A and B are shown apart, each in its own frame.
Chain A
């Protein structure tokens, strides 16, 4: 699945970054470039971070503006 549409980064690349220890959106941006431009994929990145830490997006990983969208996705 394409996560970052601006820079064409898929979920496998983001998951690999999480596997390498990325714990925040900022970390994922630094490791993969995903989320570096418009920010529209930050909720998706949060979700992938959340999946990794068993549903807990973890404070600063979750941008305030994205929280509702994150919650919507993880609750279903």
Chain B
């Protein structure tokens, strides 16, 4: 089915972001594991897989709309040099994802493409949960301090 080129471009930008997130969570997981924070490593590992499933949904939609999924483009993969820096960088990435999907949803409305909008809204809900969880953790970090917070993830 022939899709609106603006929608395909927006989906490709979302795909770039999801593929970036797959890598960013994956390296964060591996580094956390290397530093013996196995609980956080597991969380990041699962989030990396979640982002890959999001990428799959987007790829399927681009192909359905007769577009070409761009698999070779990435945004900068932001690798923190400490557990807390990584956590903050991942939180910033999730906030950008929420803004991107909100803008994407508005574009779908404008282009009369409710099919794509439904898909984006499901992804948006997932990213909003990530943002909410991260905000709770950052509040937690503020309340109990770095050492206790880090101890949670060993």
Partners in one complex: yes
What's the Cα separation between A60 and B76 when bound, in Å?
19
Say if the beta carbon of B13 comes within 8 Å of chain A.
Answer: yes
* Contact yes or no, A69 B76, CB < 8 A: yes
Task: Name B80's contact: one of A1, A47, A73 (CB within 8 Å).
Answer: A1
Chain A, residue nearest B88 (CB): A1
What's the Cα separation between A41 and B79 when bound, in Å?
12
The interface on chain B, measured as residues whose beta carbon lies within 8 A of the other chain's beta carbons, has a size of 16
Chain A min CB distance to B78 (Å)? 6
* Contact yes or no, A43 B96, CB < 8 A: no
* Contact yes or no, A72 B80, CB < 8 A: no
* Contact yes or no, B96 A5, CB < 8 A: no
The interface on chain A, measured as residues whose beta carbon lies within 8 A of the other chain's beta carbons, has a size of 13
1/0 per residue, CB under 8 A from B, across A53-76: the answer is 000000000000000010011001
Say if the beta carbon of B75 comes within 8 Å of chain A.
Answer: yes
1/0 per residue, CB under 8 A from B, across A1-39: the answer is 110010000100000000000000000000000000000
Chain A min CB distance to B15 (Å)? 13
* Contact yes or no, B96 A76, CB < 8 A: yes
What's the Cα separation between A5 and B73 when bound, in Å?
16
Residues of A within 8 A of B74 (CB): 40
- A1 with B89: in contact, given A43-B76, A44-B76, A72-B75 (CB under 8 Å)? yes
Chain A min CB distance to B73 (Å)? 8
What's the Cα separation between A56 and B96 when bound, in Å?
20
Say if the beta carbon of B99 comes within 8 Å of chain A.
Answer: yes
* Contact yes or no, B79 A5, CB < 8 A: yes
What's the Cα separation between A1 and B76 when bound, in Å?
11
Task: Name B13's contact: one of A2, A44, A72 (CB within 8 Å).
Answer: A72
Chain A, residue nearest B20 (CB): A69
What's the Cα separation between A46 and B96 when bound, in Å?
18
* Contact yes or no, A43 B75, CB < 8 A: yes
Chain A, residue nearest B97 (CB): A76
Report B36-93 residues with CB < 8 Å from chain A CB. Answer: 73-81, 85, 89
Chain A residues engaging chain B, CB cutoff 8 angstroms: 1-2, 5, 10, 40-41, 43-44, 47, 69, 72-73, 76
